């Protein structure tokens, strides 16, 4: 018997085994199930470029031959994963101004990779609403969406869940089969697969999702981080980023093949992105080595508390030097996403390489191309008049400094945007920082939403569209959170027979559409 026929026969036997291992009765026919695949950090412009260059061949074929359509989507401000997922999963406009911010009411920072922060935000802001993944599984996400099974999800990172030992055991069978099958074909391929899993711990998500598809899980949400990680480290259009996108494309293709094996389950596949990325330069290059926190304290708040702690000649040793080297070399995989933040969050680990971020009742947090300034004397956000009583013309002076794009601040008449030292109301943005932008209405809506968030800083500072180009306040060359075209505009790929909201101007519009799949299940 030819080897191909033998492997195919074993695959069919394995398919039947997986179906026998699923929990509960066979999935009920006559209802549609939902599979959402999120490609983290991918703008619509980069996807279109990738498809044209053959870097996303399956997605191109899905649109060209498989009866799928692509709808444009604007994701609102901030252009970040937590804000997008909470809005899409629960249908609420979130109080999440960035990936890292300060909650003045609780007097604590919120940093999503840190254990407990995502769970607290989801519990308090979901407002008791039913998530779109209730009874299903989430993989690689910030929030659970109400899922019963979670893997590498920030809200459950310390306590991954599954519906019992049988499901966990059957997923191990899936992974074990892949390794056995691979070893028959090539021991070298197994070694390469293991190395890829070490470089990117999210790669097992495809196997876990495949298991759930076989089992007929009603709703599945998987987030692929590979492209976003590469974009942060190398830039959104770098060849390494496109190679990461090609791997994601191949993973989606594998899931598509599994969907075709179980057509009786009736899955609708959606592919979307939570935000794009803007090519950027680190703020440290603009200032000659001073981080944004140090610049603000020394240049605008009359303090030199960071000068000694941030001296460039101070060199860490041991673990600190290893972590610093890892960051400098743009570590592969998931690690890069977090190593960039270690200097900020654990200065004692890195030998005091970063100075204090809080002094004299002021706290500064750099979160990407956005930074937040909080005046801690009051728990509620301050207005421009209140800030200027202490620091006259502060927003104006910061907005005219190197590496700064815009500065947002609240006023009695609504949000103000300072750009190159001049203030602009939301009705005047076309005459200033966003001249010639056809999506001006979306920018105005995004700024209004952002400055309505209680947790947004008293000053919100963006390095996007600085005189030196797009600037990020952390060590990355691909950035997101701001209002550039690439950050704001993504896509929703959907079956042509399904009607989606048009136009999609905010991810909150996705919730009622995806929630219908939950309604069909009851």
**pLDDT at residue 439 tops 80:** yes
pTM, to two decimals: 0.84
8 A C-beta contact, residue 93 and residue 87? yes
Q: Which helix (H) or strand (E) holds 221?
A: strand 219-224
Residues 267 and 374 in one domain: no
**pLDDT of res. 302:** 87
449 and 500 in a single domain? The answer is: no
Same domain, 304 and 361: yes
Q: Are residues 489 and 457 in the same domain?
A: no
Answer yes or no: do 36 and 121 share one domain: yes
Q: Are 296 and 415 part of one and the same domain?
A: yes
- Tell me whether residue 75 is in a domain: yes
Weakest-pLDDT range from 12-16, 145-149, 281-285, 377-381: 12-16
Shared domain check, 395 and 270: no
Question: Which of 277, 274, 275 lies closest to 221 in space, CA to CA?
Answer: 274
On whether both 131 and 169 belong to a single domain, the answer is: yes
Q: Is residue 20 part of a domain?
A: no
What is the CATH number for 46? 3.40.720.10
Residue 138 included in any domain: yes
Stronger pLDDT, 215 or 165, i.e. the higher one: 215
pLDDT band at 315 (very low <50, low <70, confident <90, very high): very low
- Give the domain range for residue 451: 281-310+355-475
Residue 12, in any domain of the structure: no
Asked whether the beta carbons of 396 and 423 are under 8 A apart, the reply is yes
- Which residue has tokens 């990020």? 472
Q: For the packed helices 3-21 and 205-215, what is the interaxial angle rounded to 10 degrees? A: 70
On whether residue 338 sits in a domain, the answer given is no
What strands lie across the sheet with 358-359, from one edge to the other? Answer: 358-359, 362-366, 370-375, 459-462, 406-409, 416-419, 422-425
Residue 18 lies in a domain: no
Structural domains counted in the chain: 2
Buried b (16+ CB within 10 A) or exposed e, 187-218: eeebeeeeeeeebbebbbbbbbbbbbbbbbbb
SS3 category, 249: helix
Same domain, 43 and 69: yes
Residue 331 falls inside a structural domain: no
Same domain, 174 and 295: no
pLDDT tens, residue by residue, 24-78: 555 666 689 999 999 999 999 999 999 999 999 999 999 999 899 999 999 999 9
Same domain, 297 and 263: no
pLDDT category at 310 given cuts 50, 70, 90 is: very low
Position of tokens 């680190």?
282
Find the angle CA(135)-CA(207)-CA(196) to the nearest 5 degrees.
Answer: 135
pLDDT in tens, 372-426: 999 999 999 999 999 999 999 999 999 999 999 999 999 999 999 999 999 999 9
Q: Is residue 52 part of a domain?
A: yes
* Per-residue pLDDT, 248: 97
Q: Are residues 490 and 464 in the same domain?
A: no
């Amino acid at each position: 018997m030819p080897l191909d026929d033998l492997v195919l026969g074993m695959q069919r036997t394995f398919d039947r085994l997986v179906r026998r291992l699923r929990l509960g009765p066979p999935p009920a026919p006559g209802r549609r199930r939902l599979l959402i695949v999120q490609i983290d950090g991918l703008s619509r412009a980069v996807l279109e470029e990738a498809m044209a260059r053959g870097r996303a061949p399956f997605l191109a074929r899905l649109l060209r031959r498989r009866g799928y359509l692509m709808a444009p989507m604007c994701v609102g401000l901030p252009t970040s994963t937590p804000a997008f997922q909470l809005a899409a999963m629960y249908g609420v406009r979130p109080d999440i101004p960035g990936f890292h911010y300060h909650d003045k009411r609780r007097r604590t920072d919120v940093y999503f990779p840190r254990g407990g922060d995502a769970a607290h935000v989801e519990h308090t802001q979901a407002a008791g609403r039913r998530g779109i993944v209730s009874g299903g599984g989430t993989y690689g996400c910030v929030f659970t969406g109400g899922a019963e099974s979670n893997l590498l999800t920030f809200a459950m990172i310390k306590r991954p869940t599954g519906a019992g030992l049988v499901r966990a055991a059957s997923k191990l069978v899936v992974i074990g089969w892949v390794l056995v099958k691979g070893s028959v074909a090539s021991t070298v391929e197994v070694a390469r697969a293991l190395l890829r899993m070490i470089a990117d711990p999210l790669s097992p998500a495809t196997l876990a999702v495949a298991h759930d598809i076989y089992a007929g899980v009603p709703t599945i949400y998987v987030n692929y981080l590979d492209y976003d990680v590469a974009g942060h480290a190398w830039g959104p259009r770098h060849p390494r980023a496109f190679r990461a996108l090609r791997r994601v494309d191949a993973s989606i293709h594998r899931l598509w093949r599994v969907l075709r094996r179980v057509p009786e389950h009736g899955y609708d596949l959606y592919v979307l992105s939570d935000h794009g990325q803007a090519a950027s330069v680190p703020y440290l290059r603009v200032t000659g080595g001073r981080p944004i926190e140090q610049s603000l304290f020394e240049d605008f708040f009359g303090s030199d508390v960071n000068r000694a702690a941030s001296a460039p000649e101070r060199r860490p040793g041991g673990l600190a030097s290893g972590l610093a080297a890892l960051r400098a070399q743009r570590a592969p995989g998931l690690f890069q996403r977090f190593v960039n933040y270690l200097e900020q969050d654990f200065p004692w680990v890195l030998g005091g390489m970063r100075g204090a971020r809080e002094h004299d009742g002021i706290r500064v947090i750099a979160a990407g191309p956005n930074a937040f300034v909080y005046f801690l004397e009051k728990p509620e956000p301050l207005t421009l008049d209140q800030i200027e009583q202490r620091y006259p013309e502060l927003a104006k002076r910061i907005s005219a400094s190197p590496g700064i794009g815009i500065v947002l601040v609240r006023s009695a008449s609504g949000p103000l945007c300072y750009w190159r030292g001049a203030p602009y109301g939301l009705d005047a943005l076309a005459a200033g920082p966003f001249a010639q932008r056809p999506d001006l209405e979306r920018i105005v809506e995004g700024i209004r939403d952002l400055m309505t968030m209680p947790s947004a800083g008293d000053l919100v500072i963006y390095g996007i569209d600085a005189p030196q180009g797009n600037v990020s306040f952390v060590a990355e060359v691909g950035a997101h959170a701001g209002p550039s075209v690439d950050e704001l505009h993504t896509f929703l790929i959907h079956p042509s027979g399904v009607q989606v909201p048009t136009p999609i101007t905010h991810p909150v519009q996705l919730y009622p559409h995806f929630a219908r799949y939950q309604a069909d299940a009851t």
